[in-house]
């Protein structure tokens, strides 16, 4: 075997290794980025969008549809059962007077939810009268109890566990719309844990919510919403709520009065 042939064989071998490496690398990249949800065949999954840090990017416009809610009835304390009618009236008044709705209403107000994920904080905008909901993912902790400023959305901090964003919220105020899907209501003592997880290659956002509040629930109350991603919306309108609109006030209050009379007839 002459020297020229041996040299050319060596170059081929080296090139062969590099090609093999490229193929292996591509496979490794694809398998990592696909990461299908449990129970879903991975071959059918498109890769979810990811941010620069490699976390799934839940940014987008999201809407709930008729099949979006999986909400079992909550197990309520006797105290919560007796307080719920009054709490319902509270929420009607809050609606009537355009109070900032807060959690959990901000997550299901019937309009498209705009979620924007930055590297340190996630913002959520609803159409209702509401503050932006902020979820801090910069590693901070909740403020200590004496320093927390209670707000309708509470104080939310999040961290990633694999491809799931785990969000912990405390520090709710007693204002705004307080009723919780499935029963019960939030109070300043409520604790909410949410798990945000993209499904179907990012086309669906699953949010599993678990509420705990010893004065309201006898067991943790868990339900899931699945939001569908919608394309760019051209006009993300903000609901112009008027607390001075007498006709609107009468309409909403009449609903509350008929609710009261219904309870009496029972």
Partner 1 sequence: MRVNASRWLIGTVGFGFAILVISPIGLKSAQAPSEPNGQATDISGLWLVHDPGSGDWSSFFDNVPKPAILPEIQKMNDEENARVAAGNVVSTGGRGANCPTGNLPMMMASSPPLNIVQSKDEVLIGSEASRGRIIYTDGRQHPDAAGLKAINSGDGHSIGHWEGDTLVVDTIGFPARTCDTRWPVMRVPGGGRAKDTTHLTERYKLINSGKQLSVTFTWEDPTIYLKPHTYSYTYDLVENGLPLEGGNDVTDSDLLKQAQGRSRGPNY
Identify which of residues 72 and 143 has a Cβ nearer to partner 1 in the complex.
Answer: 143
Specify whether the CB–CB gap between 172 and 152 falls below 8 A: yes
Contact call for residue 4 and partner 1 (CB under 8 A): no
> How far, in Å, CA of 84 to CA of 77, rounded?
10
Contact call for residue 240 and partner 1 (CB under 8 A): yes
- Which residues touch 69 (CB under 8 Å, ≥6 apart)? 108, 181, 223, 224, 225
Candidate residues 63, 71, 77, 97; the one interacting with partner 1 per rule CB under 8 A: 97
Site for partner 1 in 134-193 (CB under 8 A): 134, 140, 143, 149, 151-153, 155, 173-176
The window from 115-123, 159-167, 193-201, 220-228 that contacts partner 1 (CB under 8 A) reads 115-123
Specify whether the CB–CB gap between 150 and 173 falls below 8 A: yes
CB of 38 to partner 1, least distance (A): 20
Identify which of residues 214 and 255 has a Cβ nearer to partner 1 in the complex.
Answer: 255
Contact call for residue 86 and partner 1 (CB under 8 A): no
Contact call for residue 90 and partner 1 (CB under 8 A): yes
> How far, in Å, CA of 38 to CA of 161, rounded?
14
DSSP string for 169-204: EE-B-S-S--B-TTS-B--TT-EEEEEEEEEGGGTE
Identify which of residues 93 and 204 has a Cβ nearer to partner 1 in the complex.
Answer: 93
Identify which of residues 130 and 200 has a Cβ nearer to partner 1 in the complex.
Answer: 130
For residue 215, the 8-state DSSP code is T
Candidate residues 246, 262, 264, 265; the one interacting with partner 1 per rule CB under 8 A: 246
């Amino acid at each position: 075997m002459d020297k020229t042939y041996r040299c050319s064989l060596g170059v081929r071998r080296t090139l062969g290794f590099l090609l093999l490496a490229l193929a292996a690398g591509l496979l490794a990249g694809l398998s990592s980025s696909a990461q299908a949800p449990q129970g879903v065949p991975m071959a059918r999954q498109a890769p979810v969008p990811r941010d620069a840090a490699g976390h799934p990017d839940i940014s987008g416009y999201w809407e709930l549809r008729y099949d979006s809610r999986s909400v079992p009835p909550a197990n309520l304390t006797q105290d919560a059962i007796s307080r719920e009618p009054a709490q319902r009236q509270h929420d009607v008044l809050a609606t009537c007077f355009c109070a900032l709705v807060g959690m959990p209403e901000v997550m299901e107000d019937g309009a498209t939810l705009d979620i924007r994920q930055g590297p340190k904080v996630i913002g959520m905008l609803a159409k209702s009268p509401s503050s932006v909901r902020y979820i801090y993912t910069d590693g901070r902790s909740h403020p200590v109890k004496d320093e927390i400023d209670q707000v309708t959305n509470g104080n939310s901090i999040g961290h990633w566990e694999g491809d799931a964003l785990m969000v912990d919220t405390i520090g709710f105020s007693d204002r705004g719309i307080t009723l919780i899907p499935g029963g019960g209501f939030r109070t300043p003592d409520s604790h909410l844990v949410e798990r945000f997880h993209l499904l179907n290659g990012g086309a669906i956002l699953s949010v599993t919510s678990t509420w705990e509040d010893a004065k309201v629930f006898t067991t943790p109350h868990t339900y899931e919403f699945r939001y569908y991603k919608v394309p760019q919306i051209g006009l993300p309108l903000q609901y112009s709520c008027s607390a001075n609109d007498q006709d609107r006030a009468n309409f909403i209050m009449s609903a509350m009065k008929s609710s009261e009379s219904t309870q009496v007839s029972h």
